[in-house]
Amino acid sequence: MQLYLTHADTPYRMYKEELSLSAPALQLRLSDLDGFESATVVFAFWSDWRLSDEAAWEAYLAMRADCARKCAALPANIKLLYAMEDARPLAGDTAARLDILMRDGVKILTPLWRGESRLGGAFDTSLPLTPLGVRVAEAAAERGMTLDISHASRESAAEIMNIAQAYGTPVCATHSNFYTVHPHPRNLTDAEACRIAQRGGVIGLSFVPSHLGGRANLDSLFRHIEHGLSLGLAKHLALGTDYDGTDELPRGLDGGSSDLYPLAFAMRARGYDETFIEDFFCGNAARALPPGEFPKSR
């Protein structure tokens, strides 16, 4: 079985807590991926909201170097792809810093995270992108980066999708669920989800309990999956997880990456088609997002 996880904050936890990728404290653990024929994971470099924009850029450089050291000798079946979550560190010198990200293998850009920044409004606001935010998103799209509307306000999300369409580049939601199922402001409206699909993008479902709703468990995840299927999105749903970006995971998935294989068994028991399970675990994300690149050599 193949695996493609569209969002994990593991690099931040490894860096801040001085952990290795095999540390039991992590929700995503190297040993749990051994049984997959291949595993691609999008490692997101999160811009800590407590830092200034410039300090967040310096933290990115340190985090990226830390990740390179700790992931230099991954098993042959595991590949990494990189993302920046909250692009405000790019405000200082956008073009040069985007070029550094591209060189570093960052292929997905999540422009916003929370509140109002120099780039625009996140999910907890009703603000659009600022002129600077538009320039950053356009410069990223011009370089072929995939733009991610996770964490964006409705207004910012619409602008990000417009920019992606204008530049002919992909758009996705790497860790978001459905607002119709649970009305959390981080979740996608049906219109947003369908527009992502129309652009050939992917929606990585989040395991964060507050995004799933209620006393979150496996059934909560299945409700979001089944709503996506009802919208005709079978070829656009994926495993987002948000591993190591949440303090808690839902019941039945609270073992972190050790619960991925049991999730596949539970989906079969639920009656999901085997082709859909394979697409949900890997195929849809692999078609919509770039391939894993790192480590380049061993």
Which two three-digit tokens encode residue 102? 């591209």
Of residues 200 and 293, more confidently modeled: 200
**Average pLDDT score over residue span 180-204:** 98
pLDDT above 80: residue 208:
yes
Task: State the Cα–Cα distance between residues 14 and 234, nearest whole angstrom.
Answer: 34
- What share of the chain in percent tops pLDDT 70? 99
Which two three-digit tokens encode residue 186? 């981080």
pLDDT of res. 81: 95
pLDDT of res. 57: 97
pLDDT confidence band for 282 (50 / 70 / 90): very high
pLDDT above 60: residue 297:
no
Q: What tens digit of pLDDT does each residue of 63-113 get?
A: 999 999 999 989 989 999 999 999 999 998 999 999 999 999 999 999 999
pLDDT of res. 296: 63
- Can you give the length of the chain in residues? 298
Average pLDDT, rounded, for the chain: 96
Which two three-digit tokens encode residue 249? 């995971």
CB 225 within 8 A of CB 205: yes
**Average pLDDT score over residue span 281-296:** 91
pLDDT above 90: residue 298:
no
Task: State the Cα–Cα distance between residues 142 and 154, nearest whole angstrom.
Answer: 23
Instruction: Using alpha carbons, select from 81, 95, 92, 195 the residue that is nearest to residue 142.
Output: 95
pLDDT above 80: residue 190:
yes
Task: Identify the structural domains of the chain with CATH numbers, from first to last.
Answer: 2-288 (3.20.20.140)
pLDDT of res. 293: 85
